[in-house]
């Protein structure tokens, strides 16, 4: 999964129709597994672009506000605007199903 940072965030959102951005900690085990899982199924969602933004980027503070280090925030951007989001809890068994549902919903809406 390609990364976004403060310098290319706006350009990335404006260059792709629908972008799913995972906001999380690149050194966190859960976030690493989450990104890997999304990456492995990305080909099922051809209308989405997938990106990762580390929590240390200034832009991440606008979207990644959870206080728990095991969590990630996933935000869907359409035409540059934030249109949907979920917090992904590492302790919730159905978190990956929530991500898959979000991907399916926005993949079909393009």
Domain spans of the chain?
2-107
Task: Determine the Cα–Cα distance for residues 37 and 20; give it in Å rounded to an integer.
Answer: 14
**Phi, psi at 48, each rounded to 5°:** -115, 145
pTM, to two decimals: 0.90
What does pLDDT average to over the chain? 87
Q: Residue 98 has what pLDDT?
A: 84
H or E element: which one contains 18? strand 18-24
- Please state the rounded mean pLDDT for residues 5-18: 93
Name the architecture of domain 2-107. Answer: 3-Layer(aba) Sandwich (3.40)
**Buried/exposed code over 12-38 (b: 16+ C-beta within 10 A; e: otherwise):** bbeebebbbbbbbbeebebbeebbeeb
């Amino acid at each position: 999964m390609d990364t976004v940072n403060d310098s290319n965030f706006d350009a990335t959102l404006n260059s792709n129709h629908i972008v799913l951005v995972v906001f999380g900690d690149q050194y966190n085990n859960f976030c690493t597994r989450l990104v890997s899982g999304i990456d492995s199924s990305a080909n099922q969602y051809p209308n989405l672009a997938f990106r990762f933004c580390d929590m240390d980027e200034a832009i991440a503070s606008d979207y990644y506000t959870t206080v728990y280090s095991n969590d990630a925030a996933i935000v869907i951007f359409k035409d540059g605007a934030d249109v949907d989001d979920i917090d992904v809890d590492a302790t919730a068994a159905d978190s990956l199903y929530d991500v898959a549902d979000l991907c399916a919903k926005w993949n079909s809406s393009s």
